[in-house]
Amino acid sequence: MTTSPSPIVDEPVPRPRRWGDAELRRLAEMVGQDSLFYWKGPQTTALTREFQSHYPLRHVFPTSSGSAALHVAVAALRLQPGDEVIVPPITDMGSVIGILYQQGVPVFVDVDPRTYNLDPAAVARAITPRTRAIMPVHLAGNPCDVAALVALARPRGIAVIEDCAQAWGARLAERPVGLEGDLACYSFNDFKHVSCGDGGIVATNDEARGAGLSKWGDKCYDRVGGGREPAELAPNYRMSEPQAAVAAAQLTKLNALVATRHRLGTRLTHALRSVAGVLPPETLPGAYHSYWFYFLRLELGRFGVGRDAFAAALRVEGVAAGAGYIVAPVYRYPVFQNHNFFGGHWPVRDSGLTQMDYRSVECPTAEAILRDGITLPINEAMTDGYIDKVARAIDAVAKRFRKD
C-alpha cells in the first residue's frame, strides 16, 4: 500500500492489548480444576454470572461460536421443514447457517438506508403463514428497532431471535440489546468487541425454550435429569472451560471498552455531518451505538470517482478504509444462487416444501449500501486526536473529488 509522503493520518492504526492479567487470573484458577467440562464448570459459571450482570436473561448457554448460538436458538423454535425465518441480507453467514441446517428457509428482507438494519415495514410485507421467526441483526453495533419487529411478531405467534454478535454493549432506551426479543445470541469470535478466540452465548427469559437450550447444543443429552437417550437430533456446540475463563474475564472490561468506542464513533459522526456527499450512519432515537466498526455511505453522484477509488484515496492519506463490507448481499453468494446446501441439493425445495428461488431475490437498499459504503475500524486504543485526523482526511478526499 502506498501512502502519500505526508499522509493526514500520520500514525498506524492503534492496536489495543486485548488480553492480560484478568484472563491470566482466570486461566490460573482453571488449571487447578480437575475437569474442563462446561456443565457446572467454575469458569462457565463465572461467564454466565458476568454475562447476566450485563444482560439479565435467566437461561444462558455458552456455545463454541456465535453461529452455534444462533443454530441453538433456531433449533429451540422446533421449525418444521420449509418454515420461514426473516433475515437481513447484510450480515455474517452465521445468521443463516443454523436456519438451513434445521431445514428452514431464510427469507431476505431489505434494510433501512440510514441504519442498515432490517426495515420493519419491509418485514411486515414479507410475513407469510410459514413465517416462524424474525432475526434482526444489530449491524456494526447499531441497535435495530426490535420493538417494532416484536409488535409485528407477537400477535402472529412469530418468534424474534436477536443476532447481537456485532453489538456487545449496544443499548436502546437504556436497555442492552437482546432483551426485547425471545432469544438473544452473541459471539466471542476473534474479531468481536470481546473474544476468547471462538465462542458464543445464547440466552433467553422464555421458560419453556430456556429449559431446553443446553439440549439443543449438547447432543440432546439431558444434563439436568441425566438422560442420555436423545429424543431428537442436536449437534455438540459446547464451550469448554478454557474459552469460558477468557470470555468471563473479557466481559469485565466490556463497559469501559464500549464507552470508548461509542465516544469515538459519535465524535466521527459529528465531524462528518459537515462533509457534503458523506453520509454517516444514523441511529434510532435513544440508541447507544457500540461501534464494532464504522460504516458510512457516499452520495456517489456528487463525486467524480467511484467508491473504490475514494477508499483507495483514503488509504493513501493513512485511513484504514475498506471499500464496502461483505462483497455482496448474502443471497448472492454461490451457495444460495445455486441452492447448493447439501451436496448440490436443497431437500426442502426438492420436495416442494418451499418455492424459494434465491436467484430472483432482490433487496435494492442492501445492494446500494454495499455499493457505496465505506468501512472504517474503531477500537478502544484510538484517541480523539486520531479520530480527528481520520475526519480531516475524509473531508480532504471528499473536497478533492466533489463535483459541486
Ligand X SMILES: *Cc1c(COP(=O)(O)O)cnc(C)c1O
Residues that bind ligand X (CB under 6 A): 65-67, 91-92, 94-95, 137, 163, 165-166, 187, 189, 198, 200
User: In angstroms, what is the minimal distance from the CB of 31 to ligand X?
Assistant: 25
The β-bridge partners of 137 are 163
* Cα-based torsion angle of the residue sequence 175, 176, 182, 186 in order, rounded to the nearest 10 degrees: 180
Smaller CB separation from ligand X, 65 or 354: 65
Which amino acid appears at position 317 of this protein? E
User: In angstroms, what is the minimal distance from the CB of 330 to ligand X?
Assistant: 10
Smaller CB separation from ligand X, 195 or 283: 195
User: In angstroms, what is the minimal distance from the CB of 163 to ligand X?
Assistant: 5
Q: How far is CA 120 from CA 144, 161, 310, in A?
A: 10, 15, 32
CA angle 127, 167, 42 (to 5 degrees): 115
Whether the Cβ atoms of residue 175 and residue 188 lie closer than 8 Å to each other: no
219 annotated active-site: no
Smaller CB separation from ligand X, 189 or 337: 189
The β-bridge partners of 134 are 86, 160
User: In angstroms, what is the minimal distance from the CB of 68 to ligand X?
Assistant: 7
User: In angstroms, what is the minimal distance from the CB of 152 to ligand X?
Assistant: 21
Q: Which of 137, 120, 133, 237 is nearest to 185 (CA)?
A: 137
Smaller CB separation from ligand X, 187 or 269: 187
Burial class of residue 360 in the structure, from the number of CB atoms within 10 Å of its CB (0-12 exposed, 13-18 middle, 19+ buried): exposed
User: In angstroms, what is the minimal distance from the CB of 176 to ligand X?
Assistant: 16
Smaller CB separation from ligand X, 281 or 318: 281
Helix (H, G, I), strand (E, B) or coil at 107: strand
Cα 390 from Cα 320, distance rounded (Å): 9
Q: Which of 327, 365, 326 is nearest to 122 (CA)?
A: 365
User: In angstroms, what is the minimal distance from the CB of 83 to ligand X?
Assistant: 20
For residue 238, give the DSSP letter.
Answer: B
DSSP β-ladder status, 84-87 and 105-108:
parallel
Rounded to a whole number, what is the largest CA-CA distance in the chain?
71
Burial class of residue 101 in the structure, from the number of CB atoms within 10 Å of its CB (0-12 exposed, 13-18 middle, 19+ buried): middle
Which residue is catalytic, options 40, 192, 399, 403? 192
For residue 179, give the DSSP letter.
Answer: S
Q: Which residues contact 325 (CB under 8 A, 6 or more apart)?
A: 90, 295, 370, 373, 375
Return the number of other C-beta atoms located less than 10 Å from residue 403's C-beta. Answer: 9
Smaller CB separation from ligand X, 43 or 166: 166
Smaller CB separation from ligand X, 195 or 315: 195
Q: Which of 294, 278, 229 is nearest to 400 (CA)?
A: 278
Enzyme catalytic residues: 192
